[in-house]
Structure 1
Amino acid sequence: MKFEEIGLAGKMLDFEMLEHLMNEVGFVRAGQWDYERITYDYKFENMDNGEVFYLRVPCYAVEGEVETSHAMIKVMEPYLGKHYYPHGVEYDEDFPKQIVNACKKLLNELKEEIDKHHTN
């Protein structure tokens, strides 16, 4: 499920600011990056039934390399997936309404912060 209506796609920030804002909202980068691409994740885990969902915000470097101070990073469309052990994450699912609403709230918060700092 993509969150096109949020309006994050196309926003550009320097790497350090993006990293700071993502961490502020609760997204983690962990090992999901290379020198050109980054994926930030927010994990939802239901302790009652074991379901795990990932809200993902993919990004890529339009200038420089990821983790360098001069890198300019472009945000792409966020999307939601459900994890199935041991197979991986599926994105074409019917997602629980409370998860979708939580994702929208997080993404709107992120967009608000990014809008204060992005460049075009």
Structure 2
Amino acid sequence: MSVPTRARAEGAERTAHAVCPLEELPVGEGRAYVVDGRQVALFRHRSGRVSAVQAACPHAGGPLADGQVDERVVVCPLHLNAFDLATGASSTGADPIAVHPCRISDDGVVSVEL
């Protein structure tokens, strides 16, 4: 479903990719998708917001989409390392994860910028 559009963010060109309909994401859970050749984890929060981060934990490749998530963090299911969903920072000082801007269109499609 990837439909790229161009956007400028902080001086760098990014491409927005339509990923999935919002209703495909269960509230309070994550799902992993391949977006432009990259693994991305999407999380639909109880507030209605959607977050997008790299899908694999940098420590041992843990599947972040399977981790526990709240409004602020996702916890790696392998080693319980928490990552900030806004900044990508690790709670333990380990390598951060990539955070991707995302949007929900008026017709309910989630897009991620890479």
Greater strand content: 2
Greater helix content: 1
TM-score w.r.t. length of structure 1: 0.29
TM-score w.r.t. length of structure 2: 0.30
Higher relative contact order (CA 8 A, sep 6+): 1
